[in-house]
Each structure stands twice: as structure tokens, then as C-alpha cells.
Amino acid sequence: MSTGMLSDGIATSSIRRGMKAATPVVMGYIPIAIAFGILASQVGLGIAEAAAMSVFVFAGSAQFIAVGMIGAGNSIGAIVVTTFLVNLRHLLMSAALSPHLRGLSHKELAWFGFQLTDETFALHSTRFREGVPDVLESFALNGTAQVSWVLGTIAGVLVGGVVSDVDGLGMDYTLPAMFIALVFIQVHNSTYFTVGVLGGAAAMVFQVTGMGVWSIIAATVLAATAGVVLEQWKAG
């Protein structure tokens, strides 16, 4: 009985630490989730539909793109392929974290992967350098981040029904601003900088020349491949 109470106490403090560590992500997610909810309501999605996407997909940029594509009347196939390609970057993040998570069971890994986003990855990869915390702490961090994402989505749909002119609020700049921050943070050296500029420039050229949905994919493949070539060339 007493050992049960003791482990309950340890579990509670792990959960508290995880929730606290999620604070910057929560602050980042809420305005973006609200903007997502507003955009979702603008293309005709209801609370249940927008919230379901945030619960089951939980991928900020892919959700914005998917809703934008729904609004533009794209096919389900195009939306799913785009979502896959946009979220394929998580493969690397998942791979990068795996050496730190060997102690987890398959069930725990399966749950951890479900809530692996750019932002939770950013926190975990920093925290794991100082030792891997209790798994409950990591789950509390991820769970807090996702709860804020879902609640923000619901709030956004509710606001979206009232606010008709969101353009004046500048809320449509949340995604570009988030991407500016993420690109900036991911530029570790001149090769990353070159890859970013090349990817951005190629995407614009491909879009202007009418490659449509494939322009992002083609630009990404081109720029990443150039990054590998450049790195090999620099290494001599």
C-alpha cells in the first residue's frame, strides 16, 4: 500500500514536469490551432471534423495544407499524397530519437510516435541530451501539447463562425511566421542555408510554371539531393 502511494507520488511529479516542459509548445500551438480552426470553418468543416483531424492526424502544417486543398476542391488522393510527403520529414526525427528510446516497450514507442511533431521533437531532442526522463514525463509533454492543439482548434472553429473577416487580424500569417521560425532554427550551417534557398526558389519556379501540387515535392527532392552533393563536395 505504502509503495503504491509512493509510486503514485513519483508519477504525479513526472506528469507535472512533463506538462511544465510543454509550455513553450502550448504557447506556440494555441494561436496556430485557433487559426487552423478558423480556416477549417471557412472551408465548411464543423467542430467535430476539425477536432477529429487535430486528434487523429496532429500535424500542424499538413492540416493547414489539407484544409486549404479541401477548400480548393482537390481530390482525397492528392490530399493524402501531399500529407504523406509533407510529413515524411518525421521519419528523420523518429530515427534521430530512436537511440534514446530503446528502453521503451513497443506499445510505448507506438504511442510516442503518434505525437511526434516538429515541436515535440525539438523539445525531446534537446532534453534527451541530458538523459532520458521518465516515460510518463515524455508522454505528459506530448499529451499537453496535443490537448492544447485540439482545444485551440475547437476555439478557432467557434470564433470562425463569428469572425467573418479574419484577414484584418493577420491570422493568415501564423503559418508563414511559424515556417520562418522553423526554417531559421533548422539552418545549422551554410549547406542548410543553401538547401533552404534552393528549395524555396525551386518551389516558386515550379509553381509559376504550373507543376501544381508536385512543385513542393519536386523542389524538396531537388534541394535535399543538392544538399547531399554539396556536403560530399565540401568533404572532398
In sequence order, which residues have a C-beta less than 8 Å from that of residue 144 and are 6 or more positions away?
18, 19, 22, 25, 26
Nearest to 58, CA basis, from 175, 147, 179, 186:
147
Give the nearest distance from C-beta 195 to other proteins in angstroms.
Answer: 5
Binding to other proteins by CB under 8 A, coded x per residue (else -) over 13-42, reads: -----------xx-xx--xx----------
65 binds other proteins (CB under 8 A): yes
Query: Segment near other proteins (CB under 8 A), from 11-19, 76-84, 126-134, 148-156?
Result: 76-84
Give the nearest distance from C-beta 143 to other proteins in angstroms.
Answer: 16
Query: Segment near other proteins (CB under 8 A), from 2-10, 138-146, 154-162, 193-201?
Result: 193-201
Give the nearest distance from C-beta 168 to other proteins in angstroms.
Answer: 6
How far, CA to CA in Å, does 13 sit from each of 24, 61, 69, 151? 19, 32, 43, 24
Q: Where are the alpha helices (DSSP H) in 72-173?
A: 76-87, 90-97, 106-114, 118-127, 135-162
Give the nearest distance from C-beta 3 to other proteins in angstroms.
Answer: 31
Number of residues that bind other proteins (CB under 8 A): 95
Query: Is residue 131 left, alpha or beta, with left meaning phi > 0 and alpha meaning psi from -120 to 50?
Result: left
* Region 91-150 residues binding other proteins, contact defined as CB under 8 A: 91-95, 97-98, 101-102, 106, 109-110, 112-114, 116, 118-119
213 binds other proteins (CB under 8 A): no
190 binds other proteins (CB under 8 A): no
Nearest to 147, CA basis, from 29, 60, 8:
29
Give the nearest distance from C-beta 1 to other proteins in angstroms.
Answer: 36
Cell 492540416, residue? 63
